Amino acid sequence: MPRLRLIAIPLLALWLAAAAPDPGNGPGPALGSVTKLPVPRFVSLRSDEVNFRAGPGFQYPVNWIYQREGLPVEIIGEFDVWRQVLAPDGGTGWVHEATIRALRGFYVTVEKAALRSAPGPGAPIVAYLQEGVTGRLLRCPADGDYCKVSTKYETGYLARSDFWGTFPGEAVKP
């Protein structure tokens, strides 16, 4: 048994090192070992059916199937053409890079979010967005509490605290 253990531990360590983000230099997000892009980072699902697999490869079983084009997901790991992602509901899995895109999205996390005509709590309300509504994240100032977003029907400003799809203090530019 100890002999098998000695072989298994280095193989596991090698796999984890390949899948883990490169720590990079200094504070902030690490750089992905494959893309050299920041990890973690947000992207969105490319189609209405994306398989979340148990591991980075087609040989791994599908744990979840997300059926929501444009749903924002957070890339938390990379391995070859596979990206380990976290969904707004907490589901994680590995997806093929072809099933995601760099467009930024948002997912409303409160029961009823006010979409406003300008950034600020006193601006007129354009619409109310129910929990689970998704859309495009257009712009967020790093120091702002509101981000410009668009849905299929409306464009306006949403409080950063009312949605998932951006990091605290992150600037999102068009």
CATH number reported for the structural domain that contains residue 139 in this entry: 2.30.30.40
Same domain, 122 and 85: no
**Domain for residue 75, yes or no?**
yes
How many domains does the structure of the chain reveal? 2
By the 8 A CB rule, do 138 and 150 touch?
yes
Work out the pLDDT band at 28, boundaries 50, 70, 90.
low
The alpha carbon dihedral of 8, 14, 18, 24 has a sign of: positive
Same domain, 74 and 6: yes
Model confidence, pTM: 0.81
Strand partners, 53: 62, 94
Name the amino acid, one letter, at 121.
P
How far is residue 55's CA from residue 100's CA, in Å, rounded to a whole number? 16
**Domain for residue 170, yes or no?**
no
Same domain, 85 and 43: yes
Same domain, 94 and 8: yes
Name the amino acid, one letter, at 172.
V
By the 8 A CB rule, do 163 and 130 touch?
no
Same domain, 81 and 111: no
Residue 43 confidence (pLDDT) above 80: yes
How confident is the model at residue 29, as a pLDDT? 72
**Domain for residue 22, yes or no?**
yes
**Domain for residue 78, yes or no?**
yes
By the 8 A CB rule, do 166 and 136 touch?
no
Q: What single DSSP character describes residue 17?
A: H
Please report, rounded to a whole number, the percentage of residues in the chain having pLDDT higher than 70: 84
Same domain, 14 and 72: yes
Q: Which domain holds residue 74?
A: 2-103
